[in-house]
């Protein structure tokens, strides 16, 4: 088992690196594929914890409201406290993941998950509950910063999209589990056990991380070639694959200008296209309305005349659709491409929200055709949004940024996601009360239309490119959409073969 400590790394020249590659013995593991898959699965459990801890609030919030006598504003505070903590957790995890490694940070995050879940379940009053959810938010935000990046740096280029989006699939599974428990067990269990059970999977992740491989890219930058080769040898099936990937990694870690490292490097002009693309998609991922539906669908449906059981059943449907569509997105995102998937699915999400607003305006009677159309449009929105931009939101942040600033960049990316989520969650109920459900849905339809335009003009295709290919495209100013379809544009003197997309 590898130790979780950092050692100094002195950059080598290309010549000495080549000698190191030739002289360093490489023994690939016969279980490399299994190790890679298990690493992605264990890390993705953090996504399941995120999904559960954020999704369970829809089932527990009414019970908390009864126990603590909460008004709409206090409910928003309880629901959004985890998001505020997530913003700080995302920034904190970035520095930790750069200094101590992706694996170590994942271990720490899982420990905070355990403590946060238990603290929430034992909160004696609403202030303690909000404070405990802030702590839980640190783990949620930290996991969304480090886990997609960790999986991205472990994955081979042709499987990166699939493996990273396993994090999204795990989020969906967590939301479904939360919805099932909220529907069938909330009256039997009460809200405290519903929150406390998340500590169990978190403890499993904590123990498992001690046996996972290090990120080979972090190891190359911080511990040197031998450590990186040792990590790659655990997750690649051939010596040739290890050597080829190691050469690419070394080219990006050797002799990096101090101005291109950390926060200073993140704001260099040549990095700006990735910063705009990744943060823009992050903003629209959360502000498109999906999190609002997950948190407040039962509340919206109750306001529209649905009974409590019907509203919770519809909420379960929302969770199931999210889970199914993110799973399908996981399977096809590498084949279809990130940008194309968002452009194909985005219009459907906008149209579904427009239809939902129309149905809320008509205020149909419970059990009528109109009431069923409300549920249908709600599920259609979930289908198009979760199968499109939700699949790509975390993925793009994990793969677009150069290695020398990736920890800080993914911190900013995750903080943008959580900041946008906080904005939506802390205002959705108030907006619905002030302007009505119809105009609320139409507002979010406009946001989805804006996201389509943003993706079309600012987001290039990264499917099929290695992390090093993407970094080179940024440095050579080829990181831009091409006309019609998109790919990372190639200069004329380069290979004519475009990245699939």
Total domains in the fold of the chain: 1
What confidence tier does 107 reach under pLDDT thresholds 50, 70, 90? Answer: very high
CATH number at residue 103: 1.20.1250.20
Residue 492 within any structural domain of the chain: no
Phi, psi at residue 224, to the nearest 5°? 105, 180
Residue 11 within any structural domain of the chain: no
What pLDDT digit, counting tens, does each position of 306-335 carry?
Answer: 666 666 677 778 878 888 898 898 888 888
Residue 55 within any structural domain of the chain: yes
Angle at alpha carbon of residue 97, lines to 95 and 102, rounded to 5°? 175
Contact between residue 144 and residue 394 where contact means Cβ atoms under 8 Å apart = yes
- What confidence score (pLDDT) does residue 9 get? 33
What pLDDT digit, counting tens, does each position of 363-391 carry?
Answer: 777 667 777 888 889 889 999 999 999 88
Return the minimum-mean-pLDDT range out of 33-42, 432-441, 480-489.
Answer: 480-489
Residue 483 within any structural domain of the chain: no
Which tops the pLDDT comparison, 176 or 346? 346
Distance in angstroms (rounded) separating the CA atoms of residues 413 and 397:
6
Mean pLDDT of 2-21: 40
Alpha-carbon distance values, 399 to 51, 92, 129, 222, 465 (Å): 22, 20, 36, 19, 9
- What confidence score (pLDDT) does residue 303 get? 64
Nearest C-alpha neighbor of 172 from the set 328, 342, 302: 328
What is the 8-class DSSP label of residue 465?
-
- What confidence score (pLDDT) does residue 281 get? 94
Mean pLDDT of the chain: 81
Which tops the pLDDT comparison, 79 or 357? 357
Residue 356 within any structural domain of the chain: yes
Percent of the chain exceeding pLDDT 90 equals 21
Mean pLDDT of 209-216: 90
Residue 374 within any structural domain of the chain: yes
Angle at alpha carbon of residue 262, lines to 259 and 263, rounded to 5°? 90
Distance in angstroms (rounded) separating the CA atoms of residues 499 and 501:
6
Close Cβ partners of 257 (under 8 Å, ≥ 6 residues apart): none
Domain range enclosing 398: 23-475
Residues 396-414 as b/e (b if ≥16 CB within 10 A, e otherwise) read bbbbbbbbbbbbbbbbbbb
- What confidence score (pLDDT) does residue 13 get? 38
* Radius of gyration for the alpha carbons in the chain, expressed in angstroms and rounded: 23
Q: Is the pLDDT of residue 2 over 50?
A: no
Distance in angstroms (rounded) separating the CA atoms of residues 166 and 384:
18
Residue 224 within any structural domain of the chain: yes
Q: Is the pLDDT of residue 6 over 90?
A: no
Q: At what angle do helices 389-399 and 126-154 cross, to 10 degrees?
A: 70
Mean pLDDT of 237-258: 78
Q: Is the pLDDT of residue 248 over 90?
A: no
Residue 6 within any structural domain of the chain: no
- What confidence score (pLDDT) does residue 21 get? 53
What confidence tier does 446 reach under pLDDT thresholds 50, 70, 90? Answer: very high
- What confidence score (pLDDT) does residue 295 get? 66
């Amino acid at each position: 088992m590898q130790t979780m400590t950092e050692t100094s790394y002195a950059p080598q020249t290309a010549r000495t690196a080549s000698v190191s590659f030739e002289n360093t013995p490489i023994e690939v593991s016969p279980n490399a594929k299994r190790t890679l898959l298990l690493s992605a699965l264990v890390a993705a459990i953090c996504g399941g914890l995120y999904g559960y801890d954020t999704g369970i609030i829809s089932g527990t919030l009414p019970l908390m409201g009864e126990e603590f006598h909460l008004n709409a504003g206090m409910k928003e505070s309880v629901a959004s406290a985890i998001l505020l903590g997530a913003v700080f957790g995302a920034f904190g995890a970035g520095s930790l993941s750069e200094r101590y490694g992706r694996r170590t940070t994942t271990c720490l995050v899982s420990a905070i998950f355990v403590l946060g879940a238990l603290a929430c379940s034992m909160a004696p009053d609403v202030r303690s509950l909000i404070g405990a959810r802030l702590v839980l938010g640190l783990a949620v935000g930290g996991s969304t910063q480090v886990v997609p990046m960790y999986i991205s740096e472990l994955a081979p280029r042709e499987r990166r999209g699939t493996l990273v989006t396993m994090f999204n699939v795990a989020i969906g599974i967590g939301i479904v589990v939360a919805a099932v428990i909220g529907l069938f067990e909330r009256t039997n269990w009460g809200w405290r056990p519903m929150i406390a059970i998340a500590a169990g999977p978190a403890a499993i992740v904590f123990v498992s991380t001690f046996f996972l491989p290090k990120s080979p890219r972090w190891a190359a930058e911080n511990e040197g070639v031998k450590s990186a080769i040792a990590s790659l040898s655990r997750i690649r099936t051939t010596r040739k694959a290890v050597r080829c990937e190691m050469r690419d990694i070394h080219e990006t870690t050797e002799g990096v200008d101090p101005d291109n490292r950390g926060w200073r490097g993140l704001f260099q002009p040549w990095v700006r296209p990735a910063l705009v693309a990744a943060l823009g998609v992050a903003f629209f991922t959360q502000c498109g309305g999906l999190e609002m539906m997950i948190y407040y669908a039962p509340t919206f449906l109750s306001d529209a005349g649905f009974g409590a059981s019907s509203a919770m059943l519809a909420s379960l449907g929302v969770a199931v659709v999210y889970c199914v569509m993110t799973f399908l997105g996981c399977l096809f995102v590498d084949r279809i491409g990130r940008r194309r998937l968002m452009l194909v699915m985005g219009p459907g999400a906008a149209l579904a929200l427009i239809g939902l607003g129309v149905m809320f305006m008509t205020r149909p009677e419970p059990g009528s055709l109109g009431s069923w159309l409300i549920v249908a449009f709600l599920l259609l929105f979930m289908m198009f949004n979760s199968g499109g931009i939700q699949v790509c939101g975390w993925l793009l942040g994990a793969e677009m940024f150069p290695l020398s600033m990736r920890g800080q960049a993914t911190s900013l990316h995750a903080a943008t996601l959580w900041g946008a989520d906080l904005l939506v969650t802390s205002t959705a109920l108030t907006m619905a009360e002030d302007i009505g459900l119809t105009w609320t849905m139409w507002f979010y339809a406009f946001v989805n239309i804006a996201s389509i335009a943003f993706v079309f003009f600012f987001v290039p295709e990264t499917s099929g490119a290695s992390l090093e290919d993407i970094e080179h495209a940024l440095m050579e100013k080829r990181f831009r959409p091409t006309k019609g379809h998109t790919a990372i544009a190639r200069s004329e003197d380069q290979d004519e073969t475009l990245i699939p997309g």
